[in-house]
Amino acid sequence: MLAALAFASCSKYTELEPVDAASEKVAFETPANIKLAMLGVYESAAIGAYNGDKASARGYPFGAASIEQAEMRGEDMLNIDQFYAITYSGDVNTTSANNVNHWNNLYALINQTNVMIEGVTGAVKNNVISDAEAKAYEGEARFLRALAHHELLIHFCFPYGDGAGSKAGIPYRVKAVTTMQAVQENLSMGRGTVAEAYTKLLADLDFAETNITNATYPAADGGYSRATKGAAIALKIRIKQHMGDWDGVIAEGAKLGTSLAAPPFKSPVGNYELTADPEVPFTNYKSNSESVFSIANGPNSNGGSNGALAAMFGPADKNGRGLVATSPILYNASFWVVNDLRRSKLQVLQTTAGARYYFNYKFRDYTNRADWAPIIRYAEVLLNVAEAYSRKGNVAQAFALLNAVRNRSVTNLVDRFAVPPADLTLAILNERRIEFTGEGRRWPDIHRLAKDPVYGINGIPAKMLRSQMKLDGTDYNPATPPVFSGTGVPKYDYDNFRYLWPFPSTEVAANPTLKNQQNKGY
């Protein structure tokens, strides 16, 4: 999104060490500085730090890590090496790196958004920018604040569907840590409930939708790597889906064109529409009609060899690290037809003898690692609303939305659905697994559906291990799926403490309120 110099110059504006430094004040003294400060918030969303060291950033929280962690908590991608072994096996603890860094970087981003909101509010009082400009910046910040808090909810809390949000939530922080008083207030904040957090999520996104005035940003300003009105609506659709608010999903979806009677579906906000080819959102990640919101990476600013999507998900024979492959659980699934274009275009077989895995081929800049991280695509909007229509009994609209996504990749007429499947909701859920593999949507679906009486997994699903495979290429055979022997990672039931991640030990040591509200088992 930005040149290295721009990243270096903007990141300092919202750094708060020490908390009484003047840097955040300087950031809001001119319109140009405010623009750089906002870009610094996006940098925090993309790069973060690893164990407090920004020089060894690994794409926390949204530049890569949110996708990688969500895939490793699910069963559709296969952990090959030790890099993600703890997440994959569910053996995290209060000091394990992946979950601790995810928590720390999410709250660091949240603080950046709060600093931004406080700063632009003050800039209006000082006649630096107009009230409308300040509210537009605040809308962007509140979009990111909602995105970050929801990420915390899906890893550290039980889903909304368990008791209508009555279970313990996470601290929803809305005050900037720029004074010692603010430090103390944040370090004594308790969890609240999941429902209370969701109410605040929606309030943030309603504000963003109303006040982000730009329908789109020009490419020079980051394109769809900036939060927009359409992105706020799309994220609300996702949030309401997690709540099981199907009427709300349908109502929000109508704003983005999902109530049209038939394909092609096109959004009047942001002009989103599916690309004709499923490959385009990934080969042309800076400019396509389908991406709603992505996190920008670049040659000089990315998750690095230890975090970037192309490095982690890419095969070694193409200069990736070959750490995470597609699991035969998904590749051989009966619901994924053999001739689907997403096999031929978005999966790639590693040719290395004795290590013939299929790898995700959505992120393929193995040299520069500049692939943008997709957070919301229009395909997700369509399938989210399709599920809502199906749940509400509107089969025709649900079927039309499903086919809009499915039929661009399933091009053989014989493989297409001539009539709605008997279980249309299941078909939509299965389509999500195919369409979004490698994009981090599997764990959020497992999480939100945990207590669903029909479609819930009721825990963390069983997973394959590399040791169960022959590794000669025959493990991947959807036409005649092989039978795998041996023992993989076992399923963990919903009531197993491993279902939730723990709060970091450093957090509970500093916050006596959270210490008494730690997730059980840790």
Contact between residue 74 and residue 461 where contact means Cβ atoms under 8 Å apart:
yes
Q: Which residues contact 443 (CB under 8 A, 6 or more apart)?
A: 69, 70, 71, 73, 74, 154, 155
- How far is Cα 514 from Cα 188, in angstroms, rounded to an integer? 8
- How far is Cα 249 from Cα 360, in angstroms, rounded to an integer? 30
- How far is Cα 337 from Cα 341, in angstroms, rounded to an integer? 9
The string of pLDDT tens digits covering residues 280-325 is: 999 999 999 999 999 999 999 999 999 999 999 999 999 999 999 9
- How far is Cα 381 from Cα 257, in angstroms, rounded to an integer? 10
Residue 193, exposed/middle/buried by CB under 10 A (0-12, 13-18, 19+)? middle
Three-state secondary structure call for residue 99: helix
Q: What is the pLDDT of residue 23?
A: 64
- Tokens encoding 372: 């943008």
- How far is Cα 139 from Cα 211, in angstroms, rounded to an integer? 6
Residue 424 C-beta-side C-alpha neighbours within 13 Å: 24
Whether residue 509 is predicted with pLDDT greater than 70 in this model: the reply is: yes
Contact between residue 303 and residue 297 where contact means Cβ atoms under 8 Å apart:
yes
CA-closest candidate to residue 360, choices 345, 338, 374, 371: 345
Q: What is the pLDDT of residue 218?
A: 66
Q: What is the pLDDT of residue 261?
A: 86
Whether residue 390 is predicted with pLDDT greater than 90 in this model: the reply is: yes
Residue 458 has a CB neighbour count (10 Å cut-off) of 16
Whether residue 435 is predicted with pLDDT greater than 70 in this model: the reply is: yes
Residue 338 has a CB neighbour count (10 Å cut-off) of 10
167 secondary structure, DSSP code: S
The string of pLDDT tens digits covering residues 75-129 is: 999 999 999 999 999 999 999 999 999 999 999 999 999 999 999 999 999 999 9
Whether residue 22 is predicted with pLDDT greater than 50 in this model: the reply is: no
What values do phi and psi take at 280, rounded to 5?
-60, -40
CATH fold for the domain made of 4-515: 1.25.40
Whether residue 1 is predicted with pLDDT greater than 50 in this model: the reply is: no
Whether residue 9 is predicted with pLDDT greater than 70 in this model: the reply is: no
Q: What is the pLDDT of residue 53?
A: 86
Q: What is the pLDDT of residue 213?
A: 84
The string of pLDDT tens digits covering residues 356-389 is: 999 999 999 999 999 999 999 999 999 999 999 9
Give the residue extent of every domain in the chain.
4-515
From first CA to last CA, the distance across the chain in angstroms is: 40
pLDDT band at 179; cut points 50, 70, 90: confident
pLDDT band at 21; cut points 50, 70, 90: very low
pLDDT band at 220; cut points 50, 70, 90: low
H helices present in 256-363, as ranges: 280-283, 309-313, 328-331, 341-344
CA-closest candidate to residue 240, choices 70, 393, 388, 405: 388
